[in-house]
Amino acid sequence: MSMELRNTKDLSEVWLSIIMYGPPKCGKTSLAATLGANPLFIDFDDGMLTLKELGVNYIQPRTWEEILELTTSIRGGKLREKVQYDHIIVDSLAFMYSVIMEGVLKIAKRPTPQIQDWGLANERTKMMIDYLLKARHEQHYHFTLTCHEKIDRDEERGKIIGGIGATPALMNVLPAMFDEMYYLTVSTAGTVVKRTVNTVQSGFFPAGTRSAGRLLAAEEPNLNKMYNKIMGVK
């Protein structure tokens, strides 16, 4: 057998994949910047002003062709020749999807999407995310996808369902592709603002972790500290 036999006790370096979502302006971008020493943002939201004082690096793809070029550069290791990073953050899914859909409509020469356009945009989005997920172990980086929250009604069962802000096709498949799924909430008491990272279901909103027993159901908003808990570092 040519494949190497390994043991989980020997794991000393784990590159996390995280879906992080929550309501608008709850601090998803700032929280994502707390994991790793050199985060690199793939910015679709124009939200980098909140990180001005941190001096983080970012790239702003504005076309499907630029997204494809960037992803290829990351997978092949060429981007590392220009900038060092240990965490890639796509911020956010909704706005990346908009750019991808614009590319689909440009090819189809249509002003508004039809059924087949939604299908192609879903496939391209999933493909880009899958490429970045698969490259992280070889290229050594954490990967985070930020999303807005979404509430739907299941008409068949009459239930309210919460989740990531995405098309139904992506909403169903993306969470299973990631190690961690965190739901960020914000509460206020007078002038005090409290942010909480939920690692288990919170109300209508799902969350989950492969590190059950190491993370609390509600963690303080610092991904580096959460990563140390996952790795058993005190």
CATH of residue 78's domain is 3.40.50
pLDDT in tens, 79-130: 999 999 999 999 999 999 999 999 999 999 999 999 999 999 999 999 999 9
Classify residue 9: in a domain, yes or no: no
Classify residue 130: in a domain, yes or no: yes
pLDDT at 12: 64
Classify residue 198: in a domain, yes or no: no
* C-alpha–C-alpha distance, residues 61 and 67, integer Å: 6
Classify residue 71: in a domain, yes or no: yes
Q: Which tokens in the block code for residue 20?
A: 């992080």
Residue 231 to residues 142, 167, 234, Cα–Cα distance (Å): 14, 33, 9
Angle at 200 between CA 196 and CA 205, to 5 degrees: 80
Q: How many domains does the chain have?
A: 1
* C-alpha–C-alpha distance, residues 165 and 23, integer Å: 10
Q: What is the DSSP letter of 157?
A: T
Classify residue 64: in a domain, yes or no: yes
Average pLDDT over every residue of 139-168: 89
pLDDT at 154: 73
pLDDT of 213 over the 90 cut: no
Q: List the domain range (segments joined by +) for residue 19.
A: 15-176
Longest Cα separation, the chain: 63
Classify residue 229: in a domain, yes or no: no
Classify residue 37: in a domain, yes or no: yes
Work out the burial of residue 42: count CB atoms within 10 Å of its CB; fewer than 13 is exposed, 13-18 middle, 19 or more buried. Answer: buried
